[in-house]
Structure 1
Amino acid sequence: MTDPKPGPPVQRRKVFYLPGYDPFPPRRYRELYRREGAAQAEISGYVLDLQGMPGGPGWTVRYLENDQEVETSVTVLVWSDLVQASMRGGVLASYLALLHTVWIYLSSGAFLRLARLRKGPVIAALYPIVALLAQLALAVGVGVGVASLIGGGFGFGLGVLTALGLLQLACRVDRWLYAHYLMRDYAYSAAEGGAYPAALAEKLTQFADTIVEAVTEGADEVLLVGHSSGAYLAVSVLAEVQRRGTRAAGVPIALLTLGQVVPMVSALPKADQLRADLAEMGAQSEIFWLDVTAPGDGCAFALCDPVAVSGVAGDDQRAPVIISARFTETLAPETWARLRWRFFRLHFQYLCAFDRPGDYDYFRITAGPLTLRQRFGTRASSPSVLRRNVAPRP
């Protein structure tokens, strides 16, 4: 672990967590933080005391280690209402989303460009397509079989009902398959060719307002954490904060992106706002930006520079610092053996306890006595970072 830059220890921090495409309420993340934080504290030898935040989507954390005490408030930036609205419509909506999303990625050439980067997230993107088409083929095959066996108009009607019933059943058990969920996820990001839908753009403005207000209230650090698709949303939020000019407040602002899928959106033809925000955040140095992924996470674009691969890296690029969480080293062999094929669970490992934490400890970062810049400001990016440009041509 590199020595942190000197500076006063953090005594009071404000953390904002921006989840990915997730219909669940903030309490899911509170309980995850409570459970995994307790496990990490026991492994690493510090104390975490978590309390709910009355009337708000978050919680407070008291961190204690070697007579250092830190008070942190964690607030979830909620856009689950938009996710829930986008997931309505049942089976038919999922198949219409499939057709529309495949058309956008193929007709724009984005899919072929993305295939030049990490194969894991490309395979993950293909999974819901293959799974939904397999479910459709199975349902139709069984329906045809029923119709042929019974015959006549009654048999035809029963075959249709059987096929529809099987498709509905597959949708009901999607909590284990994730096919419909992932399809809606990709469809939401691609619906307007990479441009932010109006309702989401309004949310991002509100999130920027919230962070600016937190900066003016004063703290030793204001940290925004974006996970999965929440990572690229967090980039746009802090780009807006940067444009408003918060440096006068003198409060350190930092960005931590985890398991990012930035290229899935920035490679689309109408993602102009995201690419502009990436360019701005990549060129500035006022907001310290750390990007953490892991090759073991098949759902993320591991060790891909989100600025460079989006085609907006200039000669003056300063951010982000890009490191790996190194799952195969920081998880015990038995833990890795248990999780390595649970791809969705691994995508959330960044928010969980590690058996052998190195310099990446989510709970020390979000609740401990060092700012993100103090902890990682002298750290160089991994030498295996990919910077291949997959952005659409102008």
Structure 2
Amino acid sequence: MKDAEPQIAVPEQEAATRTFRRRVFYLPGYDPIHPRRYRELYRKEGAEQADLSGYGLTLRPKKVKGPYGWQVEGVIEGRSAEADVEVLVWSDIVRDSMSGTIPATYLQLVRTAWAYIGSGALFRLMRLRKGPMIAALYPIVFLLVQLALACLLGWALGALIAGLTHWTLGLAVAALVAVLVLRWFKAKDNKVFAWYLMHDYAYSAQSGGANPPALEVRMAEFRTQIRAALDQDYDEVLVVGHSSGAHLAVSILADLLREGLPERCPALSFLSLGQVVPMVSFLPNAARLRADLRFMAAQEQVFWLDVTAPGDGCAFALCDPVSVSGMAPPDKKGPLVISAAFTRTLSPAKWQALKRRWFRLHFQYLCAFDNLADRADEYDYFRVTAGPLTLRERFAARPPSKSRIERAVNGYGSVA
């Protein structure tokens, strides 16, 4: 394995005039929705950021093979660039995991709570950030409250019917009403996301942090797609892992590096956004992820930038995912942990409008910032994905956040 990032050498004068070419692989988190939402988000927010920052950004239909993507052309920092963006789709696996009945969801609740409490992971995670822990406890509390309300309403109507007729009919009415109320709560979950989040945490917890077999198969397919792009004429291949997609990307890239990169290939970069790595790496059976974190922290071929923000209550903001998981090697090289600093990069008016919309803030990394400083190393998703610099060129000289958390609090150290 090489000690430095492999890349194709380009004369300095030629590099300054020709179009920079990038392949972007976006790996979403636990999301059952069709990937077209990410294209529309990129189109809308990219146009807004381009208008705010004064650069050019144009979306076009995709030109490369793959299940879903688009092409973007940018004129940024005085140079032209184009990027072929591909969404690595696993929403079908997510939907299959969410197809359980109401009783099955409540059984998931019990099992998930026990996975984190029984293993001690919950109490260790609380020592890092309270925000993600509140987000983790929220669906449990909310679903229990919904169950209590459904049972209370069912009992009240059932008692009324039993008093007028017979207790057996009253019992049947009570059960029917409770079920109907729970179905109504589930149907309205697009407003509160309690059922969705319950499935999300249960998916990671069901095997104690180990990836389900179907997901491992899909990750191998993603690795094949990324490896094929390294044989193409790009200046950079950029892997973006958002939310729980970040820890999947860690394992995919670790496997890719173990297999070996081409002798001459584009720069390979990794951007993790709003990561929730500790939610998995702190579980007892996450040996594969812990080993991959240690491996990725010691290598230099892939430049890894980790971006979070304290304003995002769903992410482990400024928690170095390697160090807090207890996997920092003596020769640790990365990741570079920086903050998107929502309170600074968003105007006071926009921050006031968004600060209580915690689910929307978890996607802010993919959106426009209306108060960015005019600096090349300021985090801007559209400069990163459609600009003329590699991730390493743009951020390598930037110091890590001073308020990052690096203390190891994970109770499990086994590795695959």
Paired with 1:51 and 1:78, the residues of 2 have a C-alpha distance of 20
What amino acid is aligned across from residue 37 of structure 2 in structure 1?
R
**Whole-angstrom CA distance in 2 between matches of 1:91 and 1:317:** 45
Residues 66 and 290 (structure 1 numbering): CA distance in 2 closer, same or farther, change over 3 Å?
A: closer
* In 1: Cα distance, 2:78 partner to 2:307 partner: 29
**Alignment CA distance shift 1:287-1:247 (3 Å):** farther
Cα-to-partner distance string for 1:282-320 (whole Å, 9 max, x where unaligned): 011110000000000000000000001111101110100
Greater CA deviation, 125-134 or 103-112?
103-112
After TM superposition, the score normalised by the length of structure 1 is 0.96
Alpha-carbon distance in 2 for matches of 1:285, 1:67: 29
TM alignment of 1:1-394, pairs within 5 A: 8=15, 11-53=20-62, 56-65=67-76, 67-151=78-162, 152-246=167-261, 248-358=263-373, 359-394=378-413
Unaligned runs of 5+ in 1: 1-5
Instruction: State the secondary structure of the residue aligned to 2:305.
Output: strand
Using the TM superposition, name which of 116-125 and 383-392 deviates more: 383-392
For 1:52 and 1:172, the matched residues in 2 are separated by: 35
SS at match of 2:240: strand
Counterpart amino acid of residue 379 in structure 2: Y
Count of aligned residue pairs for this structure pair = 389
Other structure's SS at 1:148 match: helix
Report the 3-state secondary structure (helix = DSSP H, G, I; strand = E; otherwise coil) of the residue aligned with 1:335: helix
Deviation for aligned residue 1:51: 1.4
SS of the aligned residue for 1:269 comes to: coil
Where does residue 3 of structure 1 map in the other structure?
none
Shift of 1:67: 4.8
Instruction: Give % identity.
Output: 56
Given that residues 263 and 390 in structure 1 are in contact (C-alpha distance below 8 angstroms), is that contact kept between their aligned partners in structure 2? no
Q: Name the SS of the counterpart of 1:50 in structure 2.
A: strand
The separation in 1 between residues aligned to 2:77 and 2:244, in whole angstroms, is 36
Contact 1:231/1:257, CA 8 A, preserved across alignment: yes
For structure 2, the 5+ residue unaligned runs are 1-10
The DSSP-based 3-state class of the residue aligned with 1:48 is strand
- Residue 248 of structure 1 deviates from its aligned partner by 1.5
Q: How far apart are the structure 2 equivalents of 1:58 and 1:105?
A: 36
Q: CA deviation at 1:386?
A: 0.7
Larger displacement relative to structure 2 (53-62 or 264-273)? 53-62
CA-to-partner distance for each residue in 1:45-91, whole Å, 9 max, x for gaps? 01111012267400000101365211110000011110010000232
Distance 2:24 2:198 in 1: 30
Q: Is the 8 A contact 1:21 1:230 kept in 2?
A: yes
Q: Quick check: 241-250 or 332-341, which moved more?
A: 241-250
- What is the SS of the residue equivalent to 2:231? helix
The alignment yields a C-alpha RMSD, in angstroms, of 1.4
- In 2, distance between residues paired with 1:315 and 1:287? 18
